[in-house]
């Protein structure tokens, strides 16, 4: 077993170009060379605010982190404008995150890339308007542009991490299975989830608390009627090996007597309107103020509030609604009520009917409201839309910085919905409000390598889908991906069908699949930690491992997981299996449980492979090994002393198995 130090090579193939007068985002931690030259591949039109390059037919464009569509981003328009977007459909341009990093490569060729570091809106027209052109439009006409060039994609990823800092490392228990649902109202309901899992013999490490645990949706409060003795309940769960993970929202309820609200007003730490008064917006609790996370004092203050829950035994959180998501702002609402008056008595026709309908119908998620929010950036009033994409990042930074002070000896789980490159140093992310759709199972797979490139190693999607009713087969097939994502959480919306694994007919099969996760944990944790400590990727596209393989380069539905494995999930309803491309000789493991799987050696090539509903397709590379632990009910019970080694002509003694106490923070 090894303890690895951080092998950080500070030599990276990057040059910087300062375009305009950019507001610093905090994404970059190293100091690259700034030249006044743009690399030959790129053209910067400073007047238009565009950076463009020509795409050859065979070029693949990687990156952009959490976005719609495939691993190869060609053929669509992506807009970095963090949005509370619960419809992750192909026709969308923006989701919750902005990872402004793009990398271009073709089979057998080197790679070049750019990180457009700006807190404002950016459009990435990746061969959408014209197939052979990549055009990046920077709204503020200001950005720090970082250009990369190397003989491989892997090296560029390493270089980006050198520039933006190392990836967040969660506690080891956060690699266990987590159960969540918006609506666990009280102690009894949470206890029942754990009882049901234990009774069904399904391993579990955490239960998530959604907004229902709070007193009237007020951050850092607990509803005392539903949780009469919260610290005692947290301890009761801990005794059973279960971590409770509460949600924290960005908006602070406006309510006299609520300390967070009163302190924020007294210390002048909330986002403003143009007239300097505190902006009033609304989210779950109704009217709220938003902390001005761009202000260091506000970060320090808000971050300090997590102590309220840490002191009650909590050791993990998820930050939500931090794009920020908004139902309405007060001025907009007043205006709507006035306009509605004008429509009274009118003959609503084709024009006026739709205008009238949209007055209320399009009130929430209206990005124009951001134009009336102001931040204090280094003493200057800056309109929100100019710094929009770093708001969620700074909320999570507030938490991450606070944990370093408040919990210096213990890692705290933290992941966020909104994000920007740089946030990967403070927390992970989940992929937001997906749906119980088969296409979102595939999207989950495709977002993983893109997120890993940008440093977001600790990530995952709501397994089974958040919105809409799941089906047992979808949930079971989702394990084909979810078994391998560092964050493995089943989460569902309150009005959807129950989605706990215990709510279905084939509980025993689910128990076996979750057992497989615990059995794979020594491998998953090792590979994750090595990626985090060496600035590499944990999940990557096939092309990064097989850069000369023309077929592998365009595979969109298989990924590499760590050094030994390739996975190929089934993502179509009622399919009996799927086509798989093997870029080299591999040993196929058709896995049903830690004890029950078939092994078959297959030559390089294309195959149709059958997979029953409860079977996960895993491929072991030649010359590699896979450690498997025995079943465990909790992550801390995983027994590293009794590992079984599956080998395909590999040598277990050569495998770098990483382990640690899973808790002590790792200084890098
Ligand atoms: C948001 C989150 C979701 C959560 C819900 C209620 O939609 O994305 O995960 O359950 O809010 O807090």
Q: Are 518 and 632 in contact (CB under 8 A)?
A: yes
Q: Which of 146, 77, 644 is nearest to 422 (CA)?
A: 146
Give the Cβ contact number of residue 406 at 10 Å: 16
pLDDT tens track for 528-584: 999 999 999 999 999 999 999 999 999 999 999 999 999 999 999 999 999 999 999
Question: Does the pLDDT of residue 4 top 90, yes or no?
Answer: no
pLDDT digits (tens, 9 = 90+) for 618-649: 999 999 999 999 999 999 999 999 999 999 99
The 10s digit of each residue's pLDDT in 143-175 is 999 999 999 999 999 999 999 999 999 999 999
Query: What DSSP state is assigned to residue 629?
Result: P
CA 247 to ligand 1: nearest atom: 12
Q: In this structure, which residue's CA is closest to atom 4 in ligand 1? A: 182
Q: Is the Cβ atom of 467 under 6 angstroms away from ligand 1?
A: no
* 3-class SS of residue 246: strand
- Closest atom, ligand 1, to C-alpha of 321: 1
Which of 66, 216, 247, 489 to mutate for ligand 1's pocket (most ligand atoms within 8 Å of CB)? Answer: 247
524, 538, 562: which is closest to 450 by C-alpha?
538
Residue 201 DSSP class? T
Query: In Å, how far are 195, 313, 542, 568, 665 from 458, measured between CA atoms?
Result: 28, 23, 20, 20, 15
The pLDDT confidence band at residue 492, using thresholds 50, 70 and 90, is very high
Q: Say what the pLDDT of residue 304 is.
A: 98
Of 453, 458, 461, 450, the C-alpha closest to 426 is 458
Q: Is 627 in the pocket of ligand 1 (CB under 6 A)?
A: no
| Closest-lying ligand 1 atom to the alpha carbon of residue 432 | 8
**Count of all residues that appear for the chain in the document:** 668
**pLDDT of 3 above 80:** no
Tell me what the pLDDT averaged over the chain comes to.
96
- pLDDT score of 505: 98
- Closest of 326, 321, 363 to residue 182, by C-alpha: 321
Please identify which residue in the block is written with the tokens 């998620």: 365
With 60 as the cut, is the pLDDT of residue 208 above it?
Answer: yes
pTM of the model: 0.97
Q: Residue 226: its pLDDT value, please? A: 98
Q: How confident is the model at residue 71 (pLDDT cuts 50, 70, 90)?
A: very high
- Please report the pLDDT score of residue 365 as a whole number: 86
Are 497 and 470 within 8 A, CB to CB?
yes
Does 182 sit in the ligand 1 pocket, CB within 6 Å?
A: yes
Contact indicator for 316, 206 with CB cutoff of 8 Å: yes
Whole-number Å distance between alpha carbons of 154 and 156: 5
pLDDT band at 2 (very low <50, low <70, confident <90, very high): very low
In this prediction, residues 378-402 reach a mean pLDDT of: 98
Q: Is the CB of 431 under 6 A from ligand 1?
A: no
415 CA to centre of ligand 1 in angstroms: 13
> What pLDDT score was predicted for residue 12?
64
323 lines ligand 1 (CB under 6 A): no
**What is the rounded average pLDDT of the residues 14-33?**
95
User: How far apart (Å, rounded) are the C-alpha atoms in residues 257 and 249?
Assistant: 19
255 vs 191, 219, 287, 319, CA distance in Å? 31, 12, 9, 21
Structure tokens at 89: 């459909």
163: phi then psi, degrees, rounded to nearest 5? -75, -40
Contact between 583 and 549 under an 8 Å Cβ cutoff? The reply is: yes
Which pLDDT score is estimated for 13?
A: 80
Does residue 489 register a pLDDT over 60?
yes
**Angle at alpha carbon of residue 40, lines to 35 and 41, rounded to 5°:** 120
CB 558 within 8 A of CB 568: yes
d(CA 543, CA 548): 8
Query: Ligand 1: distance of its center to the CA of 585 in Å?
Result: 43
Task: Indicate whether residue 219 lines ligand 1 (CB < 6 A).
Answer: no
Ligand 1 and 247: CB distance under 6 A: yes
């Amino acid at each position: 077993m090894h303890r690895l130090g951080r092998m950080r090579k500070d030599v990276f193939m990057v040059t910087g170009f300062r375009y305009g007068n950019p507001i610093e985002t905090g994404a970059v931690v190293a100091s690259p060379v700034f030249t006044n030259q743009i690399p030959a591949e790129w053209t910067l039109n400073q007047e238009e605010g565009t950076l463009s390059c020509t795409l050859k037919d065979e070029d693949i464009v990687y990156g952009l982190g959490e976005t719609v569509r495939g691993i190869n981003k060609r053929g669509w328009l992506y807009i970095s404008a963090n949005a509370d977007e619960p419809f992750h459909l192909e026709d969308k341009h923006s989701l919750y995150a902005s990872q402004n990093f793009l990398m271009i490569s073709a089979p057998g060729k080197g790679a070049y890339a750019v990180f457009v570091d700006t807190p404002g809106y950016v459009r990435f027209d990746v061969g959408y308007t014209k197939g052979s052109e990549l055009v990046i439009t920077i709204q503020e006409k200001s950005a720090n542009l970082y250009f990369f060039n190397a003989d491989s994609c892997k090296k560029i990823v390493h270089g980006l991490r050198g520039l933006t800092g190392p990836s967040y490392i969660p506690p080891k228990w956060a690699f266990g299975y987590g159960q969540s649902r918006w609506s666990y109202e009280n102690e009894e309901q949470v206890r029942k989830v754990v009882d049901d899992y234990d009774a069904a013999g399904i391993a579990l490490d955490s239960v998530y608390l959604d907004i229902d645990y709070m007193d009237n949706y007020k951050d850092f409060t607990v509803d005392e009627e539903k949780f009469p003795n919260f610290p005692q309940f947290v301890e009761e769960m801990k005794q059973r090996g279960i971590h409770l993970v509460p949600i924290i929202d960005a908006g602070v309820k406006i309510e006299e007597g609520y300390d967070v609200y009163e302190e924020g007003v007294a210390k002048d730490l909330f986002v403003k309107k143009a007239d300097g008064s505190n902006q009033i917006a609304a989210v779950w609790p109704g009217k709220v103020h938003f902390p001005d996370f761009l202000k260091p004092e506000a970060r320090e203050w808000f971050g300090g509030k997590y102590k309220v829950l840490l002191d009650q035994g909590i050791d993990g959180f998820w930050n939500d609604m931090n794009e920020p998501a908004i139902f309405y702002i007060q001025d907009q609402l007043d205006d709507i009520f006035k306009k509605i008056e004008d429509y009274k008595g009118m003959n609503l026709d084709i024009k006026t009917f739709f205008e009238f309908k949209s007055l209320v119908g399009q009130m929430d998620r209206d990005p124009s409201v951001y134009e009336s929010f102001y931040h204090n950036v280094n003493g200057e009033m800056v309109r929100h839309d100019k710094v929009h994409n770093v708001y969620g990042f700074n909320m999570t930074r507030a938490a991450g910085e606070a944990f370093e002070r408040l919990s210096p000896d213990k890692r705290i789980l933290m992941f966020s919905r909104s994000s920007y490159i740089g946030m990967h140093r403070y927390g992970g992310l989940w992929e937001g409000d997906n749906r119980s759709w088969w296409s979102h199972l595939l999207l989950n797979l495709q977002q993983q390598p893109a997120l890993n490139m940008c440093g977001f190693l600790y990530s995952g999607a709501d397994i089974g889908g958040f919105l809409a009713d799941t089906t047992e087969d979808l949930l079971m097939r989702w394990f084909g991906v979810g078994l391998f994502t560092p964050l493995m959480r089943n989460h569902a919306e309150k009005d959807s069908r129950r989605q706990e694994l215990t709510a279905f007919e084939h509980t025993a099969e689910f128990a076996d699949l979750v057992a497989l996760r615990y059995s794979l944990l020594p491998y998953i944790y090792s590979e994750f930690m090595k990626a985090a400590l060496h600035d590499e990727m944990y999940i990557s596209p096939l092309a990064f491992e097989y850069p000369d393989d023309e077929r592998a380069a365009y595979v969109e539905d298989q990924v590499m997981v760590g050094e030994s494995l390739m996975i190929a999930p089934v993502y179509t309803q009622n399919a009996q299996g799927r086509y798989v491309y093997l870029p080299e000789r591999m040993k196929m493991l058709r896995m049903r449980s830690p004890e029950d799987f078939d092994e078959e050696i297959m030559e390089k090539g294309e195959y149709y492979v059958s997979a029953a509903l409860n079977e996960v397709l895993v491929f072991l590379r030649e010359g590699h090994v896979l450690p498997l632990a025995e079943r465990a009910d909790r992550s801390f019970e995983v027994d590293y002393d009794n590992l079984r080694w599956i080998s395909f002509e590999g040598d277990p003694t050569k495998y770098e198995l990483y382990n640690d106490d899973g808790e002590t923070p790792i200084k890098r």
